[in-house]
Amino acid sequence: MRAISSKRVFVNGHLIEAAIIIKNETIKDIVDCDKIPANCQHTNYGDLVIMPGLIDTHVHINEPGRTDWEGFNTATQAAAAGGITTVIDMPLNCIPVTTTLEAVNVKKACLENQMWVDIGFHGGVIPDNENELIDMMNAGINSFKAFMIDSGIDEFPASDVATLNKAMPILAANNATLLVHAELDLNNQEPDIKDKKSYQEFLESRPDSWEYEAIKQIIELSQKHNCKVHIVHLSSAKALELIQSAHRKGIKVTSETCPHYLTLSSETIPDGDGRFKCCPPIRDNNNQNSLWEGLENGTIDFIVSDHSPCTPALKKLEQENLWEAWGGISSLQFGLSLIWTALQKRNLGIDQLVKWMCERPAHLVNLNHCKGKIKKGYQADFVIWNPETKHTINKEDILYKNKMSAYEQHTVLGVIEQTYLRGEIIFDQNNKNFTHKPIGKYI
C-alpha cells in the first residue's frame, strides 16, 4: 500500500489536510495524516494541492492518418504534463474517420505502447452510417459526434436534419449521447473577403447567428427524439438563453466551452496569426464574460481543451492568411493553468476547477462512478500542483507534436508537479523524459 498526503487535498468539495491510501490502483481510504497505516510507503507533499486528475473529453489526436498533426504518444504525454489522466479522442481528423466499427478497431490497434494516460474514443455520425452505430456501441462507444456544418474533412460530411432524424432515435434507444458541432451556414454565397489577414473579418464571417440557429434546431431534435445532446465548444453567449430554456423544459442538453473562449478575446487577437483561428471563432470580451456567467450559473456544464493541432505549414503563418489556415487551437497541456489563472480574476476557487474540469466531464462519458473525484473506491488519478507558482508558456516546454500555441509567452499561475494514473506517477516536473512504460488503458 502507498499513502500520499498534503495539507491541501480536495475531498468532498473542500481542501483539507489528509492522506490518501492507495491500493490496487484505487483509493482505499482517505484518513487523517496521523492515521496512516505503518505498512504504507508514504509521500508527504507538504502544502501542494492534490486534486483529481483532469478529464478532457474533447481532444483531436489524428492518429492514424494525420499523425504529422498529432499522435497518441505525444498527445498523451502532453496530457499527463497538464494533469489530465483521461482523454477522449474525437472521430476526426484521423484516417479513417471513426464512423464504422472497422475504423474503431483500426484506431485501437494504434494504441499499444502509446497511452501515457487513459484513452477513450467518441464515434462519429455522418450521412448513411446509421447502420454502424449499434456495432460501435457494442464495442463500448457511447457518444457520437456530428457536424451541422462543413467539418473541413471530406470524409466527415455534415449531418443534415434527415441524417440526424435517422441517427438520434438509435442513440436515444441505447442511452448514448449525440455531440454536436453546432453552427449552421446561413450564407447563400461565398463571403467577399477584403483582407485575408483581418481577424475581425474572419470573426464576422462566422456570426453568433450561425451557432444560435444550430443550437435552436438541435434542441428541437433532442426534444423530438428524447435524445441526449451535448453541444461541444460553445462560443456564442447569445445561445445561452436557448440552453437555459431547454433546461427549464427538461430537455437533455448539456454543453461545454474551452479555455480559448474563456481567456482570449477578439480585441487582442493579432491579424494574420493562424494560431488563433478556430471554429466557431473566439469572440469579444463581452461575450467572454457572458460565457463565464453561463458556467457559474450552470448553463454551461464544463471546460475541455478542444485540442485540435495541425502542422505549422497548415496554419499559413508566413502567408498570414486566416482564410486558408486550418482552424484549431492547441492547448492540451495548459488548460489547468489557463483556467486557474482566469479563476483568480473572478474570485473563484479550486472547487470550480474540479467541478468543471474533472467531475462533470466524467459524467459525459459515464466515468463518474470511478473517475473525477477523490473518493473511496475511485481510481487513484491525481494531479499534484502548486497553485501559487507562475510559469511562462514557452515553445520548448510543449510536449504535443507541433510546438505551437496561441498561448506562447503567456505567463500563467499554477505549476503541475506530478500526475498519478491509477496509483503510479506518470509525470514528474523534475523528470520529463517519459522513459518509464506507458500504463494508460483503453476505456
Q: What's the distance, CA 76 to chain centroid?
A: 13
Residue 89 CB, shortest distance to Zn ion, in Å, is 10
Q: For Zn ion, give the closer residue by CB, 304 or 339.
A: 304
Residue 54 CB, shortest distance to Zn ion, in Å, is 17
User: 159 to 178, contacts with Zn ion by CB under 5 A?
Assistant: none
Residue 307 CB, shortest distance to Zn ion, in Å, is 8
User: 263 to 322, contacts with Zn ion by CB under 5 A?
Assistant: 306
Q: How far apart are CA 228 and CA 133, in angstroms?
A: 15
∠151-137-213 over CA atoms, to 5°?
35
**β-strands 54-59, 26-31 pairing:** unpaired
Answer for the pair 181, 232: CB distance below 8 angstroms, yes or no.
yes
Write out the DSSP string of 69-101. T--HHHHHHHHHHTTEEEEEE-S-SSSS-S-SH
Q: For Zn ion, give the closer residue by CB, 88 or 103.
A: 88
Residue 69 CB, shortest distance to Zn ion, in Å, is 13
Residue 104 CB, shortest distance to Zn ion, in Å, is 18
Residue 59 CB, shortest distance to Zn ion, in Å, is 8
Residue 87 CB, shortest distance to Zn ion, in Å, is 12
Q: Select from 258, 345, 348, 332 the least CA-distant residue to 300.
A: 258
Residue 304 CB, shortest distance to Zn ion, in Å, is 9
Q: For Zn ion, give the closer residue by CB, 5 or 402.
A: 402
**β-strands 2-11, 49-52 pairing:** parallel
Q: For Zn ion, give the closer residue by CB, 256 or 306.
A: 306
Q: Is 26 exposed, middle or buried (0-12, 13-18, 19+ CB in 10 A)?
A: middle
Which residues, including other chains, have CB under 8 Å from residue 330's CB and lie 6 or more apart? 275, 307, 308, 309, 398, 400, 402, 404, 405, 406
Q: For Zn ion, give the closer residue by CB, 63 or 381.
A: 63
Which residues, including other chains, have CB under 8 Å from residue 356's CB and lie 6 or more apart? 295, 301, 302, 303, 339
Q: How far apart are CA 136 and CA 202, in angstroms?
A: 37
How many residues contact Zn ion, by CB under 5 A?
A: 1
Q: For Zn ion, give the closer residue by CB, 308 or 419.
A: 308
Q: In Å, how far are 6, 23, 238 from 289, measured between CA atoms?
A: 34, 43, 12
- The site string for Zn ion over 135-154 (x = CB under 5 A, - otherwise) reads --------------------
Q: For Zn ion, give the closer residue by CB, 70 or 306.
A: 306
Q: How far apart are CA 254 and CA 364, in angstroms?
A: 9
Q: For Zn ion, give the closer residue by CB, 89 or 306.
A: 306
Q: How far apart are CA 85 and CA 107, in angstroms?
A: 20
Answer for the pair 271, 320: CB distance below 8 angstroms, yes or no.
yes
Residue 334 CB, shortest distance to Zn ion, in Å, is 17
The DSSP bridge partners found for residue 254 are 230
Residue 61 CB, shortest distance to Zn ion, in Å, is 11
256 part of the interface to Zn ion, by CB under 5 A: no
Residue 384 CB, shortest distance to Zn ion, in Å, is 29
Which residues, including other chains, have CB under 8 Å from residue 80's CB and lie 6 or more apart? 116, 117, 419, 421, 426, 427
Q: For Zn ion, give the closer residue by CB, 118 or 306.
A: 306
Q: For Zn ion, give the closer residue by CB, 56 or 306.
A: 306
Q: Select from 297, 248, 289, 247 the least CA-distant residue to 265.
A: 289
Q: In Å, how far are 158, 309, 311, 326, 391 from 400, measured between CA atoms?
A: 28, 9, 11, 17, 18
Answer for the pair 88, 121: CB distance below 8 angstroms, yes or no.
yes
CA torsion angle 130 132 133 137 (round to 10): 170
- The site string for Zn ion over 209-238 (x = CB under 5 A, - otherwise) reads ------------------------------
Closest residue to Zn ion in the complex (CB): 306
User: 77 to 116, contacts with Zn ion by CB under 5 A?
Assistant: none
Q: For Zn ion, give the closer residue by CB, 306 or 381.
A: 306
Q: Which residues bind Zn ion (CB under 5 A)?
A: 306
